[in-house]
Amino acid sequence: MYYLIRIAYDGSKFYGFQRLNKKISVQKVIEEALTIINKKKVVVKGAGRTDRGVHALDQCVSFKLDVSLTKEGLKKALNSLVEPYIYVKEVIEVDESFHARFNVVKKQYLYKINLGEYNPLLSDYVYQSKYKLDIEKMKEVAKLYIGVHDFTNFVSGERDNYDCIIYDINFDKKDDLLEIRFIGKSFYRYMVRNLVGMMIEVGRGKDNISKVKEMLENKKINPGYTAPASGLYLEKIEY
């Protein structure tokens, strides 16, 4: 049987999603739990590789099991093994050709910024700004990101292609919490954190919009600020 699961997790408790040899990762915990259920090794495919400290409200994972379980039975069995920092929200039966990453149509990331007084209870779950941010200037930066661009200066690591499409970026402020949502086809390593980082730099007055334009138009110039992982959430996956 082939399955897709939708999961949420607290990224502050893991060294990222991807399996690592001796470090605890989300993939490692899921695979170990599924191997117990399946009584045979299981390897999973994730919709995206969130980095250390990045959270997920809707990560998606596909895999094959040799045993046949009902969707509710598999959900209950998995949650008994992966809680408290991972939770399986939904189990879906899929066909053999389905792949959690390759079949993605759209991804949505959320970045949270605390604009108010520092709160130690939020330190792992938001970026706590030390600066007064001009949100209108940050919105101007966001407009530059929308569309198809070469995001070389906003991505960590080497790739064959840095082109990416961002469909929309939305801002929502509730009291002292600023939420920024990025909607696109795909996002590369550190990309959202680097995009937010330049918003913050412009918003606090350290850089200006011309620097952002230059970063989008010219390859390999000095990188900007990388926003902390704590504020980033993989919020939604669409197939």
> 106-238 is classed in which CATH architecture?
2-Layer Sandwich (3.30)
Q: Is the pLDDT of residue 41 over 90?
A: yes
- Position 82 scores a pLDDT of 98
* % residues pLDDT > 70 (the chain): 100
Q: For residues 147 and 96, what is the distance between their CA atoms, to the nearest angstrom?
A: 33
Domain with CATH 3.30.70.660 in the chain: 106-238
Domain covering 2-94, topology: Alpha-Beta Plaits (3.30.70)
Bridge partners, residue 128, by sequence:
114
Q: For residues 88 and 138, what is the distance between their CA atoms, to the nearest angstrom?
A: 35
What's the token pair of residue 229?
């992982």
Residue-wise pLDDT for 128-173, tens only, equals 999 999 999 999 999 999 999 999 999 988 888 889 999 999 999 9
Q: For residues 57 and 54, what is the distance between their CA atoms, to the nearest angstrom?
A: 10
Active-site position among 10, 51, 124, 150: 51
Distance, C-alpha 79 to centroid of its chain: 21
Domain with CATH 3.30.70.580 in the chain: 2-94
Vertex 223, ends 13 and 163: CA angle to 5°?
85
Judge if the upstream peptide bond of residue 228 is cis by omega within 30 degrees of 0: no
- Computed over every residue of the chain, the mean pLDDT equals 95
Q: Which residues contact 160 (CB under 8 A, 6 or more apart)?
A: none
**Known catalytic residue at 51:** yes
